[in-house]
Amino acid sequence: MLVHWLFGLFMSSRTSPPLSENAMQIAERSFPRLAAKSGHEAYKTTLNRTGGVVVKTSQGQMVERRSDGTSTVIKDLPIGKRVKSGVILKRVK
């Protein structure tokens, strides 16, 4: 859904005047909400179609959640590192 909206936004710019800076900022502010909504819809769709979804929890576990409401811990994941926004990471050889 988000991809279709973005595609429409860029495609419409060919036939309509460009967005003003203010209009672009308003559109950009809606991206997190649209992304969250799309992710939740994908989760629900997958759960309904397959009966189970594998997710990473905030407690650092990989869990399978099933449509009947049960969950099974598949694996404890290693603790990740928090990275500040804008930091450029370099691969160590």
Degrees (nearest 5) of the Cα angle 46, 51, 55? 60
pLDDT higher than threshold 70 for residue 11: no
Average pLDDT on 64-71 reads 90
Please report the pLDDT score of residue 7 as a whole number. 58
Question: Over the chain, what is the mean pLDDT?
Answer: 83
Give the three-class secondary structure for 57. Answer: coil
Please report the pLDDT score of residue 89 as a whole number. 83
Distance of CA 79 to the CA centre of its chain: 21
Domain ranges of the chain: 2-76
pLDDT tens per residue, range 14-59: 577 888 999 999 999 999 999 999 999 999 999 889 998 888 887 8
Q: Render the burial of 52-72: b for 16+ CB within 10 Å, e for the rest.
A: ebeeeeeeeeeeebeeeeeee
Please report the pLDDT score of residue 64 as a whole number. 92
